[in-house]
Structures are given as C-alpha cells and as structure tokens.
Structure 1
Amino acid sequence: MASHPLGAKTDLFEDLPDEPPEVNTTSSPEVWQMFFDGASRIGTSRSIITGVGVVLTSPHNHVLPRAFSLTEPCTNNVAEYNALLIGLELARELEIKHLEDYGDSQLIVKQMTGEYEVRNDDLIPLHKAATKLVESFKNFHIEYVLRSKNTHAEALASLAANLAQPLETTQWVTMASRRLFRPKDVLEANATHQVLDQPDPKDWRLPIINYVLYGKLPEDAREQESVRWRALRFYYDSTTKAFYRRSYDGLLLRCLSKTEEREALREAHDGTC
C-alpha cells in the first residue's frame, strides 16, 4: 500500500532518489484540489445553525462547489471536521486518487498532519474517521491556508447556514453574473418602456401580451392555440412594462423587440468587439 504523507510541509509525492532517475514515459498523476470550511450562525429561535462548504477543483480546472446545512448544532471545530469529512467522501465517490486539501482551521489541519494531539472527546472520533478516509487515496496532502484564500468554500458554508434545510432535502440556488448598473441602463430601460407602450403591430410579443394582460386572442384558430401554449412560459411585468420568458432553470429572460434586438447587437459589437 502506498504511503500517505499528511505533513503540511511534506511533498505530495515521495522525494526523488539521489541517482539520476530513469526515463518515465507514464503521464503524471492528475491531482485534484479541495477547499473546505464550516460556518455557524444563531437562528431565530437562538439555536445554532451550521453549514459546511466544499469546493473540488479538477486537474482541468473544473470546479465542483457543494454546500450542506447540518441538522444538529455543533461547535466550529466539529463543523470544520464535518466539512473535511464530507469533502473526503465526495472525493472518494468521484474515485479521485491524488488529492491536495486546504482549510483555514489551523487546529484541524495540524491535527491531521500530526503536529497537534487530538484531546477533545468530540473531535477524536472525527479525526479517526478522517484519517481512515485518507487511506482511500494514493497520495494525500493537507495544508493550512488563510481565510482570504478560502473565500469560495467559506461563502458556501455561510450560504448553507443561512438556508438551512430539513434532512434529506435539496435546494438549488442559481448564481448569475451581470454587468454593473449604470445610468445608460436607465436610458435604455426608458426606451424599452416606450416601445412596449406603443408596440409595433408586427411585434411578435404583442399577441402574447394581449392574451396575458387582457385575455384577447387572435382571430385565427391555429394562432389562438399557439398563443395559449406559448403564454404559459411568459411573464409581463406591468410595473416596469418589461416582457420576460421563464427558462427551464427558473430565470426570467428579457424578450426584445426588433428595435431592441438591433440596439443589443450594436452594443455587443461596438468598440473592441
């Protein structure tokens, strides 16, 4: 069985021999990285709610973020060990063989490397379980990192603590990015409102808006059925006078008129684009 160096300052693989090594044609092992963290907060009933975050990164930079809310209150150190254990179990399920582990708890990291002795009765069984899981990997390395280097896992742990779920339940959270809101956006939004206030008779959105707002359908029977079916996935915001289509993941996608399409294309291809 291969050895498992746990020291924070120990190389991931064995030191090279003193003699010049033979030429090795085999590919280098694919090393995954894992960041873990635990977070606790006080709930509305003054109870402690805990979450853990784990971020696995493949050798090809594919990121697998995971967040879990723990169903029982616990100390920060117990939460940190749970984050480590959950991450190790995920890595084992993915059949990862070479793993570099990073956490911002010096206590847990130094206990795993053997620099600190485990004396707390609550942590002893967790440490033993983690040590046992480490044997699932051909090579394992754990290292302490500053909290500023562990922000992704920390954010997931905080999110899980704030969105605590009952046992065996899952909640999907969609994370999206968008550009900074600027005064120009206000002008474009106002222009959009004017377009919707006085729509083009050939605007493809008009039959759906008329049906959604007023229950009006086109005269053509086939077009009536099409409008009814399509309207199920559309939403008109009467406050902002904006028209949206619901995507399969729940996001609202802004629907554009021909004029808005041309403006969006012009903006996208403007400047260095």
Structure 2
Amino acid sequence: MNSNNKLIVFSDGAARGNPGPAGAGGLVRARKNQEILAKTCEYLGEKTNNVAEYMALLLTLNQARQWPTAELEIFADSELMVRQLNGVYRVKDATLKLLYQRVNLILQDFPRTSITYVPREKNKEADALANEAIEAYLRGKKREIDITDLGGPMSLL
C-alpha cells in the first residue's frame, strides 16, 4: 500500500473525575504530508476515563471511515485500551467489552490497522480536543453527544 493511502489516527478521552464530565478528542492525518483530514471534539457526558478513551477512538474511527481503503496507524495514550485491543489484556468490564467489540467491528472495515501506545506528551493535540469538549460543555456551548447515533451495542450505554 502506498503512503497516499495511509492515515495516522490519534485519539484521547478525558474525564474530570472518574466518573466525571468527559470529552473525546481525535485527529485523522494523511501519513504522507501530515495534513489534518478530520477532527473529533465531543462532550460525552458523565463517563469514566476508560469509557471516554474507547468512545474517543470510536468517534475518530468513524471519521476515518471516509477513507475505507486506507491503512490506519492508530496512536492512543491509554495503555489499558491499547493492550486490550492488541490482545495483551482481557476486557473484563461489561461496558468496556461493548465498546471493545464496536471498535473491533470498525477496524475490520479497513485493510490493515495497527494500534500503538504513546505517552501523553506525544498525544497533545487529541488531549487538547478532549479537554476543549469538556470546557465548551461546561461553558454551555455544546450539547452532550447522543451515543445512540453511533449504532451497534453502544446504544445500550
């Protein structure tokens, strides 16, 4: 696959408290020139940090679906989520299990994917978008995302 058909995905979920007001941030970039093709910045409501991380990835992957033939390189700063998606850790929590299944369904839409843990310092843009979503909601400028719009088992959350 040539570099024109590769995307870099960064995602981050944030929660102020656990659970607490949560936001999702993410970016889809062209691998070749680093151009930002899509952004995610959504308020999620009261969620745990781990749920926010998965929801941020789901929302950002939904953005990446605009390029269904692309190879995805995914980066996230949630060691738990990355290890679960790479099969290193089992998913025990029922809510996370639903989110995990939904992420894997979306990943099957792409010809090749990889997910890699990065430290928070390497994920600053996605982190800023997640926190911006929380701040905007707290200032009364954004509504909570309706997660039923994402379809699948997410509608049970």
Answer 1 or 2: higher relative contact order, Cα 8 Å, separation at least 6.
2
- SS of equivalent residue, structure 2 residue 52: helix
Amino acid of the structure 1 residue aligned with 2:41:
A
Please, which of 137, 143, 150 is the counterpart of residue 166 of structure 1? 143
Structure 2 counterpart of 1:69: 43
C-alpha distance in structure 1 between counterparts of 2:55 and 2:8, whole Å: 18
Q: Is the 8 A contact 1:81 1:126 kept in 2?
A: yes
Q: Which has the higher strand share?
A: 2
Q: Structure 2: which 5+ residue stretches go unaligned? A: 146-157
Match of 2:93 in 1: 120
Q: Structure 1: how far apart are the matches of 2:69 and 2:47?
A: 29
1:83 aligns with 2:60: no
Tell me the residue number matched to 2:23: 51
Contact kept, 8 Å, 2:42 with 2:144, in 1: the verdict is no
Look up the equivalent residue of 1:40 and give its one-letter code. Answer: A
Out of 32, 53, 63, the residue aligned to residue 7 of structure 2 is 32
Residue 16 of structure 2: SS of its match in structure 1? strand
Q: Secondary structure at the match of 1:143?
A: strand
Q: TM-score, normalised by structure 2?
A: 0.81
Partner Cα distance (1:96, 1:90) in 2 = 13
Amino acid across the alignment from 2:63: L
**Relative to total residues, which structure has the larger helix share, 1 or 2?**
2
Amino acid at match of 2:88: E
CA distance in 1, matches of 2:16, 2:80: 20
Tell me how far apart the structure 1 counterparts of residues 123 and 117 of structure 2 sit (CA, whole Å): 10
The partner residue of 2:76 within 81, 90, 103 is 103
Question: Could you list the per-position Cα deviations for residues 191-214 of structure 1 after superposition, in whole angstroms to 9, with x for gaps in the alignment?
Answer: xxxxxxxxxxxxxxxxxxxxxxxx
What SS does the aligned partner of 1:33 have? strand
What secondary structure is seen at the aligned counterpart in 2 of 1:138?
coil
| Cα-Cα RMSD | 1.9
Residues 95 and 141 of structure 1, relative CA distance in 2, 3 Å threshold: same
Report the counterpart of residue 178 of structure 1 in structure 2.
none
Amino acid at match of 1:166: R
**Cα distance in 2 for residues equivalent to 1:102 and 1:96:** 19
Deviation at 1:88, TM superposition (A): 1.0
Question: Mean Cα displacement is larger for which, 109-118 or 94-103?
Answer: 94-103
Q: Distance in 2 between matches of 1:110 and 1:96?
A: 25
Distance 1:96 1:76 in 2: 31
User: How far is the alpha carbon of 1:48 from its aligned partner?
Assistant: 2.5
Highest CA radius of gyration, 1 or 2? 1
Letter in 2 for 1:68: E
Indicate how the Cα distance of structure 1 residues 149 and 96 shifts in structure 2: closer, same or farther if over 3 A, else same: farther
Runs of 4+ in structure 1 displaced over 4 angstroms? none
After superposition, the Cα gap between the structure-2 partners of 1:152 and 1:118, relative to the gap in structure 1 and judged at 3 Å, is: same
Deviation at 1:60, TM superposition (A): 2.5
Aligned-partner Cα distance in 1 for 2:96–2:25: 19
Structure 1's unaligned 5+ residue stretches are 1-26, 169-273
- Contact 1:32–1:96, Cα closer than 8 Å, also in 2: no
> 1:121 offset after TM fit, Å?
1.1
